[in-house]
Amino acid sequence: MTGTEGGAPEILVRFDQVFKSFRTSRGRRQVALDGFSMSVPTGAVVGLLGPNGSGKTTALKALLGLARPDRGTITAFGRELPADQRFVARRMGALIEGPAFTGSLTGEHNLRLLGELHGARRDEVADVLELVGLDGAAHRSYSGYSLGMKQRLGVAAALISRPDLLVLDEPMNGLDPEAVRHMRELLKRLRDERGMTVVVSSHILSEVELVSDWVTIVRNGRVICDASVPELLARGTSRLVVRVHDAVTARSVLTDHGYTAVPAFGPAGAELQVEPPATRPTPSDGSDVLRLLTERDVYPRELVVESASLEDIYVAAVRAADAATATARQEPRHGT
């Protein structure tokens, strides 16, 4: 499968304005998806990120036909759901809300039984066990598996039908750092060696940051950010840090030119955190700051351009969405 065609990514799954609410036991309506729209590019690892209760599992369940949207459309493999759910289900493997296996049987036996449903041969079962790193524990009974081993067997079960699209809901939950790393390596291998498209949810950015090509951030049932990782990183503004002996003069030079310069105390002593004027058309690479200062005989000891991390962008997106929600609440609605 190819990830891109003529620059624009080919889209394997698309959610368009999906709404889903549940009735709670107290008879109240709980909105889980509130106009949820996202796209999954073919051949990518997509990180579906969001805080607890933001709607990740509900969205994935809707894709798998385990939750029926109230409104909106979901298309996958060019087919519309739920009408073509069976067609799509044959091409998808999923691990949602923990796997169910028989405790008294070995990992291999559990997987073999599942494989029979999908016509998987014994060597394919062995291959999948090797892929998830369980070949050494294949003949131990499932009840004796650690949490990480259980998660791996769950992923193996999702892979046994040789899917084109793998959907994993919080597969890194409860894993130790070594196992998280192993899971990331596995997802990359599945993408690179088997051409799979992978959707992996998490509420911890660092868990999926290193493996995702594409990031979708969900908040209160709505997608607040849906973009490729390079695009996101380019979107984030970099931060300039200037270390000077005479911070007072440096600050006045910069503020005279419309820059914001906030004094701070960093690991290397006193510094100024500098932001270019909002009117500046391109991000600053620091040369403008250096020129302004040296023209006034202020020579920085150090000037660092710190580019925004995905975490900065995540936090900024969440804050912007919260601010927009607060504004919408304050403003009276017209015509809706």
Ligand X SMILES: Nc1ncnc2c1ncn2[C@@H]1O[C@H](COP(=O)(O)OP(=O)(O)OP(=O)(O)O)[C@@H](O)[C@H]1O
Smallest distance, Å, CB 53 to ligand X?
4
Nearest to ligand X of 63, 261 (CB atom) = 63
Smallest distance, Å, CB 297 to ligand X?
55
Smallest distance, Å, CB 218 to Mg ion?
10
Q: State the CB neighbour count (10 A cutoff) for residue 269.
A: 11
Q: Which of ligand X, Mg ion, none does residue 50 bind to, with CB < 5 to 8 Å depending on kind?
A: ligand X
Strands 269-275 and 165-169: unpaired
Nearest to Mg ion of 205, 244 (CB atom) = 205
Smallest distance, Å, CB 28 to Mg ion?
20
Tell me which residue of 184, 112, 182, 175 sits closest to 142, measured CA to CA.
112
Cα separation values, 36 from 69, 72, 100, 140, Å: 10, 8, 29, 42
Token pair listed for 302: 């150090």
Strand partners, 71: 19
Q: State the CB neighbour count (10 A cutoff) for residue 256.
A: 10
Nearest to Mg ion of 61, 152 (CB atom) = 61
- Write down the residue that tokens 């710190």 correspond to: 306
Nearest to Mg ion of 57, 106 (CB atom) = 57
Cα separation values, 188 from 10, 210, 212, 295, Å: 19, 10, 9, 50
Nearest to Mg ion of 20, 56 (CB atom) = 56
Nearest to ligand X of 114, 168 (CB atom) = 168
Cβ contacts of residue 242 below 8 Å, gap of 6+?
Answer: 250, 261, 271, 272, 274, 289, 293, 300, 302, 303
Residues in the chain: 336
Token pair listed for 304: 């660092």
Q: Which of ligand X, Mg ion, none does residue 53 bind to, with CB < 5 to 8 Å depending on kind?
A: ligand X
Nearest to ligand X of 204, 315 (CB atom) = 204
Q: Which of 39, 54, 57, 216 binds Mg ion (CB under 5 A)?
A: 57
Q: Which of Mg ion, ligand X, none does residue 171 bind to, with CB < 5 to 8 Å depending on kind?
A: none
| Site of interaction with ligand X (CB under 6 A) | 22, 24, 30, 32, 50, 52-58, 203
Interatomic CA distance for residues 123 and 335, integer angstroms? 62
Smallest distance, Å, CB 30 to ligand X?
4
Q: Which of ligand X, Mg ion, none does residue 58 bind to, with CB < 5 to 8 Å depending on kind?
A: ligand X
Q: Which of ligand X, Mg ion, none does residue 151 bind to, with CB < 5 to 8 Å depending on kind?
A: none
Smallest distance, Å, CB 58 to ligand X?
3
Smallest distance, Å, CB 56 to Mg ion?
5
Residues of this chain that bind Mg ion (CB under 5 A): 56-57
